[in-house]
């Protein structure tokens, strides 16, 4: 009986010891680590514009030229970010009828790229940018694709050489993408340069001058000569008649 009691005490002691060790181990391990947050979904510029509600024409052009996919790849594979000037539907409606239809596919791509700066620029940073700003359209030399930005207080003015407009609002902004609404389509000189009228053809120096008719002076001289000749013949004739008469 005494041995059984000793066995029971030993079992109870061992049970309590296991509980204590387990509790101590759990306390040392701490709470279970929370699962890592999922990475944010890739930025989709067309989804951003759709939320803006007034960029249907711009979305259609981005999709038809597949530039939306190119922008998505740039945003998710580069740390430089992008800045997009987004013309509203009213801005496209104010263009002359047929303007977009007269452009080739490549010109449409270049026109859209002219609205994209390959770095992220916040509104405050426009105060310190150097003009002309380079866009994805390429050559920013005069007459090609220069884009000039000036500021006056909180107003950001944009000039292409053909179009002057301002940023009318921020559609979207984070550490990778900034989308600013503009109320005019930015028309670059490289595509929409005004045509210069061709000069008139040069006169042919070897062309013969028109033949002039007799002048009035020449006609008068000829008339005077004709009138003078009969009068000169009349004097000798009268003398001869007189001599012949007196001879008889």
d(CA 89, CA 107): 19
Position 158 scores a pLDDT of: 98
- For residue 238, being part of any structural domain is answered with no
Lowest-confidence pick of 47-51, 146-150, 230-234 = 230-234
16 or 77: whose pLDDT is higher?
A: 77
- For residue 151, being part of any structural domain is answered with yes
The answer to whether residue 212 scores a pLDDT higher than 60 is no
Two structure tokens written together for 56: 């249907």
The answer to whether residue 43 scores a pLDDT higher than 90 is no
The answer to whether residue 207 scores a pLDDT higher than 60 is no
Q: Using an 8 Å Cβ cutoff, are 179 and 49 in contact?
A: yes
> In the structure, what pLDDT confidence band is assigned to residue 11 with cuts at 50, 70 and 90?
low
Domain residue limits at 184 = 45-192
Position 6 scores a pLDDT of: 62
d(CA 148, CA 146): 7
d(CA 239, CA 248): 15
Number of domains in the chain: 1
The answer to whether residue 47 scores a pLDDT higher than 90 is yes
Position 76 scores a pLDDT of: 86
- For residue 230, being part of any structural domain is answered with no
- For residue 217, being part of any structural domain is answered with no
Lowest-confidence pick of 14-18, 94-98, 146-150, 234-238 = 234-238
CATH code at 125?
2.30.180.10
Burial classification of residue 107, based on how many CB atoms lie within 10 Å of its CB (0-12 exposed, 13-18 middle, 19 or more buried): middle
31 or 46: whose pLDDT is higher?
A: 46
34 or 152: whose pLDDT is higher?
A: 152
Q: Using an 8 Å Cβ cutoff, are 213 and 119 in contact?
A: no
Position 70 scores a pLDDT of: 94
> In the structure, what pLDDT confidence band is assigned to residue 237 with cuts at 50, 70 and 90?
very low
The answer to whether residue 22 scores a pLDDT higher than 70 is no
The number of beta carbons lying within 10 Å of the beta carbon of residue 192 is 16
- For residue 181, being part of any structural domain is answered with yes
SS3 58: helix
Q: Please, which residues bridge with residue 170 across strands?
A: 180
- For residue 49, being part of any structural domain is answered with yes
Prediction pTM value: 0.65
* Residue among 167, 200, 173 at smallest CA distance from 85: 167
The answer to whether residue 163 scores a pLDDT higher than 60 is yes
d(CA 141, CA 155): 25
Q: Which residues contact 58 (CB under 8 A, 6 or more apart)?
A: 49, 86, 87, 89, 92
- For residue 38, being part of any structural domain is answered with no
Q: What is the average pLDDT across 181-195? A: 91
d(CA 170, CA 119): 16
The answer to whether residue 199 scores a pLDDT higher than 50 is yes
Tens digits of residue pLDDT in 67-103 = 999 999 999 888 889 999 999 999 999 999 999 999 9
Position 244 scores a pLDDT of: 45
19 or 227: whose pLDDT is higher?
A: 19
- For residue 6, being part of any structural domain is answered with no
The answer to whether residue 188 scores a pLDDT higher than 80 is yes
């Amino acid at each position: 009986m005494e041995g059984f009691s000793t066995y029971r005490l030993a079992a109870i002691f061992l049970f309590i010891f296991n509980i204590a060790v387990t509790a101590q181990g759990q306390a040392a391990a701490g709470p279970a680590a929370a699962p890592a947050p999922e990475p944010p979904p890739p930025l989709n510029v067309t989804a951003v514009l759709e939320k803006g509600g007034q960029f249907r024409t711009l979305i259609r052009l981005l999709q038809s030229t597949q530039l939306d996919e190119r922008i998505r790849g740039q945003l998710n594979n580069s740390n430089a970010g992008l800045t997009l000037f987004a013309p509203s539907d009213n801005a496209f409606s104010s263009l002359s009828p047929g303007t977009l239809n007269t452009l080739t596919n490549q010109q449409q791509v270049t026109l859209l790229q002219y609205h994209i700066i390959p770095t992220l620029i916040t509104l405050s940073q426009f105060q310190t940018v150097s003009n002309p700003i380079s866009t994805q359209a390429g050559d920013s030399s005069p007459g090609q694709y220069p884009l000039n930005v000036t500021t006056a207080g909180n107003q950001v003015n944009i000039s292409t050489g053909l179009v002057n407009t301002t940023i009318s609002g921020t559609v979207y902004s984070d550490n990778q993408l900034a989308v600013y609404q503009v109320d005019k389509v930015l028309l670059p000189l490289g595509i929409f340069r005004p045509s210069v009228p061709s000069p008139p053809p040069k006169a042919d120096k070897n062309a013969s001058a028109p033949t002039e008719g007799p002048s009035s002076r020449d006609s008068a001289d000829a008339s005077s000569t004709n009138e003078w000749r009969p009068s000169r013949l009349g004097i000798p004739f009268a003398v001869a008649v007189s001599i012949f008469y007196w001879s008889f």
